[in-house]
Copies of this chain bind each other. A is one copy, B any other.
Amino acid sequence: MPVLIVGSIALDTVKTPVEEHADLLGGSASYAAVSASFFTGAQLVGIVGGDFPKAHVEFFESRRIDLEGLQQVEGESFRWSGEYMTDMNVRETRSVALNVFEHFTPHLPESYRQTPYVLLANIAPSLQSYVLDQTARPRFVVADTMDLWITIAKDDLLALLKRVDLLILNDSEAKMLTGETNLIRAAEAIRGYGPGYVAIKKGEHGCLLFGDPSKQEFFSCPAFPLANLHDPTGAGDCFAGGLIGELARADEAEITFDALKKAVVSGSVVASFNVEAFSLERLRTLTNEDIDARRGEFRRISQF
């Protein structure tokens, strides 16, 4: 089954303690769609300007991503610039230029409206809701979010969550959204807002997946041990894309917690590759054999 993915498409400038690169392919939907494309067909909804390099479009095409929902308009593409400190867990945004993204209205092509798996990658929750308005009761909706929306659009986010099956956010965002200091209680609170499942990303500490506590639905996914991170940008988006891609690929009669566990591992696997190089570079050469091998590694490092 295909997955519908909406989010940002950006040109990034990223600086780390050792390197700096400009005009990189970036944005939540770019990472998520390419990640999902290793598992199933992805339909991309987003907007770019006239300056958007043809090579980036061709990369999407090489991954057989459906671009009917990609709007290309006059003006400049969304641009983001960030810098990672010596501790790669610490990032500073240097500049953001919304450009064409400022007036983005995500219109779904007719052919996308019945797509059963939907990933609302990180954009404003009002836009995420607007996308859902155009769909015909998708089977499973995953939403990603960030601290910005919790701060400036919490009501929109809470309205969206009533319509979401799985919310993805990081540990500090989960605490910020709920006011809880304990992640178990934070996840319980978020389930109270609507989503039956919550995935809390903890960066180098892996990821926690929460379902129904009365069914003991809890999963702790390790992080892959990496001595050198080259660029953490997009790791969370790759995680989300791989997760829904795996779910859509399997398309099981019943979406069980075991299926979600496998999807969390698949998302973690793609994310662990993506941070090995700048932008989406590592995913250009990644193969499904690489993914299967690392899934085995994830099993080896966490089983006893």
Which residues of chain B have C-beta atoms less than 8 A from A221's C-beta?
304
- Which of A160-168, A177-185, A279-287 binds B? A177-185
- If A205-B206, A265-B304 are given as contacts, then 19 extra A-B residue pairs at C-beta distance below 8 Å, sorted by A number, are A182-B228, A183-B204, A184-B227, A185-B227, A188-B227, A208-B225, A216-B300, A218-B225, A219-B301, A219-B302, A219-B304, A220-B225, A220-B301, A220-B302, A258-B304, A262-B304, A299-B304, A302-B303, A303-B303
A229 nearest in chain B by CB position:
B182
A-B contact pairs, 7 of them (CB 8 A): A87-B181, A182-B229, A206-B220, A216-B300, A219-B301, A222-B222, A302-B303
Shortest Cβ gap from A62 to chain B (Å): 31
A interface with B by C-beta (< 8 Å) = 86-88, 181-185, 188, 202, 204-206, 208, 216, 218-223, 225-229, 258, 261-262, 264-265, 298-304
Which residues of chain B have C-beta atoms less than 8 A from A183's C-beta?
204
A227 nearest in chain B by CB position:
B184
Q: Specify the main secondary structure of chain A where it touches its partner.
A: mixed
Which residues of chain B have C-beta atoms less than 8 A from A227's C-beta?
182, 184-185, 188
* A181-B86 contact in complex given A302-B222, A304-B219, C-beta closer than 8 Å: yes
A210 nearest in chain B by CB position:
B225
Shortest Cβ gap from A225 to chain B (Å): 5
Shortest Cβ gap from A257 to chain B (Å): 10
CA of A119 to CA of B86 in the docked complex: distance in angstroms?
35
A299 nearest in chain B by CB position:
B304
Structural contact, B225 and A184, CB atoms closer than 8 A? yes
CA of A226 to CA of B258 in the docked complex: distance in angstroms?
21
Q: Which of A181, A184, A302 counts the most B-chain CB atoms under 10 A from its CB?
A: A302
Give 9 nearest A-B pairs by CB, closest first.
A220-B222, A205-B205, A184-B227, A87-B181, A261-B304, A302-B302, A184-B225, A220-B301, A185-B227
Which residues of chain B have C-beta atoms less than 8 A from A229's C-beta?
182
CA of A225 to CA of B213 in the docked complex: distance in angstroms?
11
Shortest Cβ gap from A141 to chain B (Å): 23
Shortest Cβ gap from A114 to chain B (Å): 31
Which residues of chain B have C-beta atoms less than 8 A from A188's C-beta?
227
Q: Which of A182, A204, A206, A264 counts the most B-chain CB atoms under 10 A from its CB?
A: A182
Shortest Cβ gap from A80 to chain B (Å): 24
Which residues of chain B have C-beta atoms less than 8 A from A225's C-beta?
184, 208, 218, 220
Q: Which of A184, A225, A262 counts the most B-chain CB atoms under 10 A from its CB?
A: A225
A219 nearest in chain B by CB position:
B301
CA of A298 to CA of B304 in the docked complex: distance in angstroms?
10
Shortest Cβ gap from A177 to chain B (Å): 16
Q: Which of A208, A262, A299 counts the most B-chain CB atoms under 10 A from its CB?
A: A208
